[in-house]
Structure formats: structure tokens, C-alpha cells
């Protein structure tokens, strides 16, 4: 069974790239969180196709409808003010209202996002046993694994469209974590192709922590950085780098090619003591969640491979009574959080689907000169990936919080009547 997170907070999704829609079920959100449809929508708007001019030219509205797991006893009108849902079955219209805002009940939260901009004819050249295989894509292995019963339109579940569920579940996790701990998740593009920037979120917030003398970062400080990221040409802390990278992506698209990217993702103000020292190490969980995203080729924690050339005296993070004075370990020691920002850096390969001619085979292994007939694809998948990485990190942190909490039993939570 494919789920994100788990066992206490888990996200399950269903839906293909060119199917009718993507459904999501979120398990394990504690009761009492005020959740608005618009809270989730603002994160989906960052993920959706067409949200950045340097991404895919495909435009999707990607409007979410909430179907379960909320209640608003004092204001049913507000609960039922979500987008109306209507389908026609056997000639009979079936209409209902979705949820707009309410409090989580602890029961599964279900959502639906319809797909409205499919162009399935773009994928006819990949259909059947003589269909073309895109180098670097899953076409051949998925065809063989499914014994030919595979949806070739947009890559099916291998499409980036499946990450709608990641963002829906991650939105709920990050809202709960921000309300209870002040935890905020951010990401910044730090490399596109050969272009790199030295400006990083990790360095910025570590400098702020050292200046103020304690671990917590204020909402104002975080808001200022979010504003810079929102205003940049692509979502990067370094505006000059973002401009240059945007131009490189534009030229590469015209050439019919694609680019890789590196994205830094951080959790500011994370709870300390999350994770276990071995098989449930939060480091292992994060590397699996982030590294398991399609097109990801590498995932580093903290300073990553840069620590290899250091001596222990250079790499050890000094400790004072206020906390760690550096963060080369990315907020994790022995797989357990220290309270310092969680820091990961994720490397994406260049998009596999390009228009340049390449050597390939058909699904029957007949050799061919392959060239994409038509399609709408991201020339650099890292441009839209940040919100998905933030969401996956939030889901794992949320699950780790609930796991940590479950190990500390409060007897008052197990009473129905007064003891007398």
C-alpha cells in the first residue's frame, strides 16, 4: 500500500495524470484544528501547472473540494459553503455541497481535485506494444511491470500530478504544526543546471539564531523571507540568481532540452526530540520521503557531502545552554531532532521528456530514433517542486510528533467520568 507518512499521520492518494481527478485521504489529524479550504488552496496554487512561467505551459485550476473529516457545530452554513459538486449519472444530476471551513474531528479528511486540462492525444506515440519509450522515463519498466496494462497518458501515477495529494496532506500537517509549535516550512532553489547561489535559507536563519542568542525564529522574520521568495523570478532567496536561472530555463526550453536543479527545504522552529535512533530515525524517514519523489536523484541532510573533507573539530556543532551554535547536522543527531532548523537539499535530474532527438527503443525492444511528437512539459521540474518537498517534510514531522506524544501517556486522557 502506497502512503506518505504513517502510521499515526498518513496520506493516501489516487488518480492518474490524465484521469478525471485526484482524490486524497488524510488519516490521523487530531481533532480541534480549524481548517479552511482556502488554507489548502494557497499551497496548491504554488504547485499547480501554469503557476510559474518557467514551468509547464499546461494550465490547471486545481481547485480543491473537501468532502469529510470536518464539522462546525456553531456554523453549519460556513461548513457547507464550499464549492458545489455535481455529476450526471444515468442522465440524473447528482449535486451536493463540499466543506468550506470547520474543525477537524479526528476522522479521515477526504478531498477531490478535478483534472480539466488534459490533452491525451499528445501521448498516442507511447501507446501499445510498439509505443515509443522515452529515455530516462518510466515507460519501459512500467509497461513490463504491469504486463502492458498501463496508462501512458502523462505517465499515469508517475506524473507530477500525483503530488496533489502530497500538498493536500502536507498543508494540513503544516497548519497543525504551526499552530502548536510555530513550525514553518520553506524552500529555495539553490542551483539550476550549472548556475549556483551561495545564499541559503539554512545559513540565513542560523545567523539570525546566533545573533538573537536563542533557537526560536519570529513570525516577522519568517514572513520577510517568504515575501522575498514570493517576489523572485523563480522561488529562490537570491534574486539575481533567480533572474539568471529564469533566462537559462527559457533558452533551454527553446533548445528542446531540460535542466536539473537543487532545492533546499527547511523546517524553522521544529520540535526537539522527534524521531528514534534506528529504524524510525527521522533522518531515514525524511531521506525516504524527499528522495522518493519522482525525478529526485539525491537527498542530503545538513551540510551533506561537504562534511567529508572536514575534521571532527570543524564539523561538530558547538553547544551552549541556549542550544547548538551551528547546524552542520541539519537539526538531526542520531536521527533525533535538536530543535535547530531541519535542513535538507534535494537534487532533481533534468526532465526526461524533451523534444531533442534521442536513441531509444519501442516497448517490444525494437531500436528507434525517438523524438517527442508533441506535449507540454516542465523544462526544469525543480521550479515547482519546492511546495511538494515542504509538504513531504511536514507530513514526516507531523507523524514524528504524534509518535513522540504516544510514548508519553497522560492518564487524564483516559477518563470518561469524574473519579469522584
222 φ, ψ to 5°?
A: -65, -40
pLDDT digits (tens, 9 = 90+) for 155-212: 667 777 889 999 999 999 999 999 999 999 999 999 999 999 999 999 999 999 988 8
CA 82 to chain centre: 24
- In which element (H, E) is residue 108 found? none
Say if residue 210 is exposed, middle or buried (CB neighbours under 10 Å; 0-12, 13-18, 19+): middle
Q: What is the pLDDT of residue 52?
A: 64
CATH code of the domain made up of 4-406: 3.60.150.10
Nearest to 69 by CA among 114, 33, 12, 108: 108
Percent of the chain with pLDDT over 90: 74
- List all residues 6 or more positions away from 243 whose beta carbon is below 8 Å from its beta carbon: 233
* In the chain, domain spans: 4-406
8 to 21, 101, 272: CA distances (angstroms):
26, 24, 18
pLDDT digits (tens, 9 = 90+) for 77-120: 999 999 999 999 999 999 999 999 999 999 999 999 998 876 66
> How large is the angle between the packed helices 201-212 and 219-231, nearest 10 degrees?
160
pLDDT band at 346 (very low <50, low <70, confident <90, very high): very high
Mean pLDDT over the full length of the chain: 92
Nearest to 294 by CA among 147, 141, 155, 140: 155
Measured distance between the N- and C-terminal CA atoms of the chain, rounded to whole angstroms: 47
247 to 56, 198, 241, 242, 243: CA distances (angstroms):
15, 19, 10, 9, 6
The 3-state DSSP class for residue 4 equals strand
Task: For residue 309, give the C-alpha cell.
Answer: 573533507
Q: What is the pLDDT of residue 361?
A: 95
The 3-state DSSP class for residue 366 equals coil
Per-residue pLDDT at 19 exceeds 90: no
pTM of full prediction above 0.85: yes
Rounded Cα distance between 230 and 225, Å, is 9
Q: What is the pLDDT of residue 410?
A: 84
pLDDT digits (tens, 9 = 90+) for 355-386: 999 999 999 999 999 998 777 678 999 999 99
Q: What is the pLDDT of residue 66?
A: 98
Nearest to 162 by CA among 23, 348, 50: 23
Amino acid at each position: 500500500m502506497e502512503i506518505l507518512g504513517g502510521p499515526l499521520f498518513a496520506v493516501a492518494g489516487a488518480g492518474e495524470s490524465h484521469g478525471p481527478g485526484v482524490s486524497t485521504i488524510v488519516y490521523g489529524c487530531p481533532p480541534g484544528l480549524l481548517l479552511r479550504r482556502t488554507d489548502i488552496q494557497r499551497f496548491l496554487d504554488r504547485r499547480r501547472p501554469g503557476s510559474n512561467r518557467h514551468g509547464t505551459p499546461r494550465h490547471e485550476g486545481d481547485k480543491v473540494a473537501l468532502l469529510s473529516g470536518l464539522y462546525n457545530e456553531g456554523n453549519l452554513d460556513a461548513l457547507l459553503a464550499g464549492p458545489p459538486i455535481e455529476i450526471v449519472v444515468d442522465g440524473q444530476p447528482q449535486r451536493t455541497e463540499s466543506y468550506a471551513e470547520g474543525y477537524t474531528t479526528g476522522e479521515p479528511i477526504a478531498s477531490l481535485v478535478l483534472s480539466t486540462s488534459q490533452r491525451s492525444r499528445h501521448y498516442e506515440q507511447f501507446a501499445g506494444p510498439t509505443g515509443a519509450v522515452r529515455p530516462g522515463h518510466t515507460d519501459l519498466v512500467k509497461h513490463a511491470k504491469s504486463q502492458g496494462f498501463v496508462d501512458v497518458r502523462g505517465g499515469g501515477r508517475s506524473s507530477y500530478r500525483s503530488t496533489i495529494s502530497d500538498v493536500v496532506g502536507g498543508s494540513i500537517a503544516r497548519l497543525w504544526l504551526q499552530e502548536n509549535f510555530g513550525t514553518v516550512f520553506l524552500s529555495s532553489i539553490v542551483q539550476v543546471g550549472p548556475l549556483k547561489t551561495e545564499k541559503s535559507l539554512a545559513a540565513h536563519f542560523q545567523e539570525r539564531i546566533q545573533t538573537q542568542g536563542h533557537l526560536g525564529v519570529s513570525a516577522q522574520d519568517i514572513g520577510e523571507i517568504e515575501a522575498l521568495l514570493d517576489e523572485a523570478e523563480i522561488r529562490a532567496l537570491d534574486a539575481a540568481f533567480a533572474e539568471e536561472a529564469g533566462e537559462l530555463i527559457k533558452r533551454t526550453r527553446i533548445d528542446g532540452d531540460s535542466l536539473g536543479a537543487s532545492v533546499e527545504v527547511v523546517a524553522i522552529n521544529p520540535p526537539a526530540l522527534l524521531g528514534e535512533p534506528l529504524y524510525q530515525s527521522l533522518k531515514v524517514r525524511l531521506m525516504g520521503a524527499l528522495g522518493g519523489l519522482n525525478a529526485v536523484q539525491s537527498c542530503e541532510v545538513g551540510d551533506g557531502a561537504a562534511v567529508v573533507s572536514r575534521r571532527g573539530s570543524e564539523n561538530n556543532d558547538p553547544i551552549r545552554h541556549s542550544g547548538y551554535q551551528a547546524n552542520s547536522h541539519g537539526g538531526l543527531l542520531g536521527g533525533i531532532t535538536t530543535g535547530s532548523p531541519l535542513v535538507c537539499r534535494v537534487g532533481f535530474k533534468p526532465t526526461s521528456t524533451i523534444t531533442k532527438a534521442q536513441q531509444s527503443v519501442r516497448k517490444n525492444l525494437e531500436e528507434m530514433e525517438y523524438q517527442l511528437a508533441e506535449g507540454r512539459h516542465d523544462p526544469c521540474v525543480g521550479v515547482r517542486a519546492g511546495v511538494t518537498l515542504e509538504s513531504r517534510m511536514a507530513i514526516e514531522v507531523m507523524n514524528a510528533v504524534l509518535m513522540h506524544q504516544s510514548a508519553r501517556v497522560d492518564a487524564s486522557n483516559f477518563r470518561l467520568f469524574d473519579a469522584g
